[in-house]
Amino acid sequence: MTAIATSTGVPVQARPRRAWAGALIGVALLVLSVASLFIGVSDVSPLALVTGGPDGRAAFLLIVSRIPRTLALLLVGATLAIAGLIMQMLVRNRFVEPGTTGVSEFATLGMLVTMVLWPGMALLGKMGVAAGFALLGTWVFLRIIRAVPVRQLVLVPLVGIMLGGVVAAVTTFFAYRLDLLQSLGQWAQGSFAGVMQGRYEFLWVAGLMGVIAWIAADRFSVIGLGEEFATNLGLDYRRVVAIGMVIIAVTTAAVLVTAGMIPFLGLVVPNIVSLIIGDNVRRSIPWVAGLGAVFVVACDILARVLRFPYEIPLSVIVGIVGAALFLWLLLRKGSRAH
């Protein structure tokens, strides 16, 4: 039995609830995005925008810093959540995402390689190398996971986390020998403090990946039913899997390079969406993207506000909230993990 895409039993009375949830996500997205625009060190209140602010800089900051940061947050939230969803389809397991499959750790290893070999490299190059490593990581994980029977639901993320641990140990070892641990640690720690115009644009590449995922959504749905089933339906299984792998790798690398690692997001969001509307990929992609964006923007606002004017790394906040949600998903009654 596949864990995914089999759920046909969306309760009939779920419809109004769904509409409610959808409206809620939409409103939250709007409110939080606007809030995100106006929270920061400088005075960029609506009033300052009208009057030009103390230095007449409010509008400039809005365009150069606040809008990019908010866009980056929206993009990261949406695309990471989608990448998680695609990963779950490829592996046919609810509990995977780039962070629980070693993909992020491979991308970090890629970062280390660029830091050692080409320290002055532009961000695009760094992202490319990281994406290459992430792709390799996805491939390695998919190879290893073939040995695991599908019904061992929680074994798959376990193996992924351990694989990540092993790769991370290699990275740590070399970074330690090369005295790059601190720098690498700062890269890997998810934070949007440095995001601004000119430093987030690669996330549009991730955004593009999200769009591709949306277009190919039905194929991923079919992939989720298994190789045999997909091939019988006349689908080029390998090609779809390859597309999925590229989507995951590029998204992971783009997010890692611009913001750092953001744990559990790609895992928690699709699961919650599935609780609300069921498992149809085409239907759930906008939901997943929307909820992912809401989640990240909300967490980042917390990260900015809790110790104003200094920032707490976003990954710390997401780590707490995401881990708590993940635990709830695992342990709640009726979870298939039992």
Interaction with other proteins in 189-228: which residues (CB under 8 A)? 189, 191, 193-194, 196-199
Q: Which of 10, 35, 155, 212 binds other proteins (CB under 8 A)?
A: 155
CB 96, CB 157: distance < 8 Å = yes
| DSSP 8-state class, residue 3 | S
Tell me how far, at minimum, the Cβ of 102 lies from other proteins, in Å.
10
CA neighbor of 99 nearest in space, from 322, 261, 327, 294: 261
CB 87, CB 100: distance < 8 Å = no
The C-alpha angle with vertex 28 and arms to 260 and 51, in degrees rounded to 5, equals 85
Enumerate residues 304-333 that contact other proteins by CB under 8 A.
306-307, 309-313, 315-317, 319-320, 323-324, 326-327, 330-331
CB 89, CB 221: distance < 8 Å = yes
- Give me the 225-264 binding string for other proteins, x by CB under 8 A, dash otherwise: ------------------------------------x-xx
CB 299, CB 317: distance < 8 Å = yes
Tell me how far, at minimum, the Cβ of 195 lies from other proteins, in Å.
9
1 binds other proteins (CB under 8 A): no
Of 64 and 242, the one with the shorter C-beta distance to other proteins is: 64
152 binds other proteins (CB under 8 A): yes
95 binds other proteins (CB under 8 A): yes
Of 115 and 269, the one with the shorter C-beta distance to other proteins is: 115
3-class DSSP state of 100: helix
Enumerate residues 41-60 that contact other proteins by CB under 8 A.
41-42, 57, 60
Of 289 and 299, the one with the shorter C-beta distance to other proteins is: 299
Strand pairing partners for 18? none
Q: How many CA atoms lie within 13 A of 82 on its CB side?
A: 35
